[in-house]
C-alpha cells in the first residue's frame, strides 16, 4: 500500500530541477559521439602500440647514443648558426652585402624557372608541405617497424627549423622587395633561409633511407639525382620569387648539411 511519503518521492522526480538534469543527461548522451571505433582512433592506438613495442626492442645504449650524438651535434651547429648570423649582420652593416641585390637580379635573369613555375614547383619546399609530409613519412616508418627512423625524420624537420630560428632571433633581416615589388616575399626574417635548411635536412634523410635500402647502384644514383633536383628547385624558386637574398641561401646550406650529417652519424649501426 502506497503511503503519503511514497507519493512525495514520486512528485520530487518531476520537479523542474530533476527534469532539467534529466534533459541535460539525455542531451549529453545523445550528442557525444563515440570515437573509440573510428578508423583514425583505432589506427592511432595501433601505431602507438607498434612504436612502443619496437622502441623497446632497441637496446638502451643504442638509443642513448642517438640522443647524445643528435643533441651535441645540434648544439654545435647552433653555435655555427650564431657565428654565421653575427658575421653576416656585421658584413651587412659594413656594406659588404650590398651586392646581394645585383646578384639576385642576375640570378633571376638566368634562372631556369619562371615566376609562375617557381610558385608551383616551389611547393615541395614550402613549410606547410614539409610539415605535413615529414610526419606522414614518420608514421610510415613506425608502421614499417622503424621507430628510430621515425624520430630521425621528425628531428630533421624540427631540428632544422630550430637552427634557422637561432639566426632569426639574432638578426631580423628584411626580405628583398626588388622582384615584383616583393609580392611573393614574406614580411619576416630573411636570414638564413628556412626553406633551404629544411629541404636539405628532411629530403636528405629520406634520400639516405632510400639509398641505404637499395641494392642497385643505378637506383642509388637516381635517388641522389632526385634529391639534388629537389634542392635546386627549392633554392631557385626562393630566389625567383624574391623571397630571399642569395646570402640567405648560402648561409642555410651548411646548416642543413651539418644537421643532415649529424643525424646520419647518429643512425650508424641501426638495426
Q: What is the pLDDT along the chain (271 residues), one digit of tens a residue?
A: 455 555 445 544 444 544 555 555 545 444 556 556 665 676 677 788 887 887 788 888 898 999 999 999 999 999 999 999 999 999 988 888 888 888 888 887 777 777 777 778 778 888 889 999 999 999 999 988 899 999 999 999 999 999 999 999 999 888 888 777 666 667 778 889 989 999 999 999 999 999 998 888 999 999 999 999 999 989 888 888 878 888 999 999 999 999 999 999 999 866 5
H helices present in 58-99, as ranges:
60-93
Question: Which of 94-109 are b and which e, b meaning 16 or more Cβ less than 10 Å from the residue's Cβ?
Answer: eeebeebeeebeeebe
Domain ranges of the chain: 59-267
Interhelix angle for 147-170 vs 127-143, to 10°?
A: 160
Tell me, what's the pLDDT at 21? 53
Tell me, what's the pLDDT at 14? 45
Is the separation of the CB atoms in 219 and 227 below 8 Å? no
Peptide bond into 69 cis (omega under 30): no
- 3-class DSSP assignment, residue 107: helix
At residue 53, φ and ψ (nearest 5 deg) are -65, -45
Please compute, for residue 57, the number of CA atoms within 13 A of its CA located in the half-sphere on the CB side: 12
As given in the structure block, the three cell numbers for residue 169 are 632571433
Distance of CA 222 to the CA centre of its chain: 24
Is the separation of the CB atoms in 190 and 244 below 8 Å? yes
Tell me, what's the pLDDT at 271? 53
Q: What's the DSSP call for residue 271?
A: -
Tell me, what's the pLDDT at 87? 94
- 3-class DSSP assignment, residue 81: helix
The pTM of this model reads: 0.81
Amino acid at each position: 500500500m502506497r503511503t503519503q511519503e511514497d507519493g512525495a518521492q514520486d512528485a520530487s522526480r518531476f520537479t523542474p530541477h530533476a527534469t532539467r538534469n534529466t534533459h541535460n543527461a539525455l542531451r549529453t548522451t545523445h550528442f557525444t559521439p563515440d570515437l573509440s571505433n573510428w578508423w583514425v582512433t583505432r589506427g592511432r592506438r595501433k601505431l602507438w602500440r607498434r612504436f612502443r613495442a619496437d622502441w623497446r626492442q632497441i637496446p638502451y645504449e643504442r638509443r642513448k647514443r642517438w640522443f647524445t650524438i643528435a643533441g651535441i651535434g645540434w648544439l654545435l651547429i647552433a653555435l655555427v648558426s650564431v657565428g654565421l648570423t653575427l658575421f653576416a649582420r656585421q658584413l651587412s652593416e659594413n656594406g659588404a652585402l650590398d651586392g646581394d641585390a645585383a646578384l639576385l637580379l642576375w640570378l633571376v635573369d638566368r634562372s631556369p624557372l619562371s615566376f609562375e613555375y617557381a610558385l608551383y614547383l616551389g611547393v615541395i619546399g614550402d613549410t606547410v608541405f614539409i610539415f605535413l609530409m615529414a610526419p606522414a613519412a614518420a608514421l610510415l616508418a613506425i608502421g614499417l617497424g622503424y621507430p628510430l627512423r621515425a624520430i630521425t625524420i621528425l628531428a630533421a624537420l624540427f631540428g632544422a627549423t630550430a637552427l634557422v630560428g637561432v639566426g632569426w632571433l639574432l638578426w631580423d633581416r628584411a626580405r628583398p622587395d626588388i622582384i615584383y615589388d616583393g609580392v611573393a616575399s614574406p614580411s619576416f626574417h630573411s636570414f638564413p633561409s628556412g626553406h633551404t635548411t629544411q629541404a636539405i635536412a628532411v629530403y636528405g634523410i629520406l634520400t639516405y633511407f632510400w639509398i641505404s635500402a637499395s641494392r642497385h647502384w643505378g637506383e642509388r644514383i637516381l635517388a641522389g639525382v632526385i634529391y639534388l633536383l629537389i634542392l635546386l628547385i627549392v633554392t631557385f624558386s626562393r630566389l625567383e620569387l624574391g623571397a630571399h637574398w642569395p646570402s640567405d641561401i648560402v648561409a642555410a646550406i651548411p646548416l642543413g648539411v651539418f644537421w643532415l650529417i649529424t643525424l646520419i652519424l647518429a643512425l650508424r649501426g641501426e638495426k
